[in-house]
Every structure is written in C-alpha cells, then in structure tokens.
Amino acid sequence: MIIAQISDLHVGVKGRLVYDRFDTGLCLQRCVQHILRLNPATHVVLATGDLVDGGTAEEYRHLRELLAPLPMPVYLIPGNHDDRAALCKAFGDHVYLPRPGAPVYYVLEEFPVRLLALDTVVPGAAGGALDAAQLDWLEARLAAAPARPALIFMHHPPFRTGIRCMDEIGLDAASAGRLGTIVSGHRQVERIVCGHVHRGIQARWHGTTVSICPSTAFQGILDLKADRFDWAPDEPPAYQLHCWNGTELVTHTVVVTSGR
C-alpha cells in the first residue's frame, strides 16, 4: 500500500500570489503531476491541513480544481488556516466529512493500514488541541482492532520540534499528553503523520514514529532560534510517501522541482 501525503498547500484565490510571493497553486499542480507519474501508483492521498490560505469558498473551489486530476481517493483534514464549515461545504461529496462546522475526524477501514484522521483545529487560533471526545473516540477505535496496523493523520505535531516559532503554536501540552498515553497503549500505531511546520522532521514518540511532512507550497527556514516564521528560498515543494510492505511502514520524502 502506498500513501501520498500532501500538506500545507496554502492554496489561494486562482490567479493571485499568496503573500504576494508564492504561486501555491502551481506548486501543488506540480506535486499532483508528480504523484500521477509514480510507478507503482499511489493508492490514497492524505492532505493534512492548511489546505487553503484564508479559508474562503473561492480558495476551496480552486483547491478542488487542482486536486481533480487525482484518480485515487483523496482524504482531507483541516489546519489552522482552514475553515471547517467552508471546507465541508466545498467538498460536500466527500461522504466521510461531517456536517459543516463539526470537527473533522473519521476512520478509513478499507485499506491494509487503518487510517485515523484527527482534527486539531482551534477556531481563531494558530495552535492546536484535541478535545476529550476525539481522544475517547480514538482510544475506542484503536482498541477495536488491536491487531491491525494503524496510521494517525493530523495537522499539528504532538512533539516539540526545536523550531521555537512553530512550537509556540503547536499542539497544546494537555492534548499531546493524553494522545501520548493512548498511543503508548496501542502498539499497532505504525506512524503519526502531521504537517504545520513546513519542514520534513521525524521523532520517536511514545513507542511510535511521528513524521512531519514538508509543504507543497514553501518550506520554513531551519532556524532553531527564530521568533517568527520565515521561508526558505532554496528549498522546493515536497510531499511524502508512506509505503506499507506488509511488515513495516517506510517513509520517503519527495522533492519536486520545476524540471521534474
């Protein structure tokens, strides 16, 4: 099973640069074309938040156009730049999504690896959290299938990356603590995959591995002392492939340049 993860797309209004600098639509288009050329083909695509930049209906319409060439299932979760209601309305044909405005969490059972989506969005805030209802749900879902490998996908990473400006708007400590306790008790969790930080980062965490996917739009500069986010002009768009071989989940970071 091959899972493509795209994250932090920051799609803007069609024809406009995001922050007057980034053609995030073109960058996503190149990543989509790269995924389409993969051999063997990807089975599923996970988009892990900050799907658009401003949470507007016009941006989500543009996002739909950009994702339309993908023939495999595409599953969405929001990030702190997204609007839950607008997202669910724009992708109303995605039956796994809840009613507009409700937290977006669900489980996908039809693949060799169970895929469990969590919603870390706190409306109006850059940082993230997981409420008790979601965490109770996750614990129950994992307990229901202890022998099946599982992948959890969410936007905010649950560990401190060392990039101070992003850690300050990461997942809150209480949510991370309870999530860690749940994961520690369920050894079938092969991976937690996240976004938010705009860099590829991995950590061993509570008996599993957490992987942060780079952005399809722009990367953040690697500065462990910075008190604000800045972009890395020499780092191109990227995504990740998570490959289940029947025994292990192997993660590859794929860099996409204009010439590939």
User: pLDDT by residue (tens digit) across 17-49?
Assistant: 999 999 999 999 999 999 999 999 999 999 999
pLDDT for residue 2: 98
> Is the Cβ–Cβ distance between 196 and 170 less than 8 Å?
yes
**Residue 127 banded pLDDT, cuts 50, 70, 90:** very high
Q: What is the mean pLDDT of residues 94-122?
A: 95
**CATH ID of 2-255, from 3.40.50.1110, 3.40.50.1440, 3.60.21.10, 3.40.605.10:** 3.60.21.10
Which residue is listed with tokens 């462990």?
224
**Residue 260 banded pLDDT, cuts 50, 70, 90:** low
**Residue 56 banded pLDDT, cuts 50, 70, 90:** very high
Q: What percent of the chain has pLDDT over 70?
A: 99
Whether the predicted pLDDT of 221 surpasses 70: yes
Q: What is the mean pLDDT of residues 83-92?
A: 95
pLDDT for residue 94: 95
pLDDT for residue 228: 86
**Residue 195 banded pLDDT, cuts 50, 70, 90:** very high
Lowest mean pLDDT among 62-66, 127-131, 222-226, 246-250: 222-226
pLDDT for residue 220: 93
Whether the predicted pLDDT of 189 surpasses 80: yes
Q: Which residues neighbour 119 within 8 Å (Cβ) at sequence distance 6 or greater?
A: 77, 78, 84, 103, 104, 105, 130, 134, 154, 155
Whether the predicted pLDDT of 230 surpasses 70: yes
DSSP secondary structure, 144-176, as one string:
H-TTS-EEEE-SS-SS--S-HHHHTTSB-HHHH
Q: Write down the pTM of the prediction.
A: 0.96
**Residue 233 banded pLDDT, cuts 50, 70, 90:** confident
Q: What is the mean pLDDT of residues 184-196?
A: 98
Q: Chain-wide mean pLDDT for the chain? A: 96
pLDDT for residue 86: 96
DSSP secondary structure, 70-134, as one string:
--S-EEEE--TT--HHHHHHHTTT-TTS-STTS---EEE-SSSSEEEE---B-TT-SSB---HHH
Whether the predicted pLDDT of 259 surpasses 60: no
pLDDT for residue 128: 98
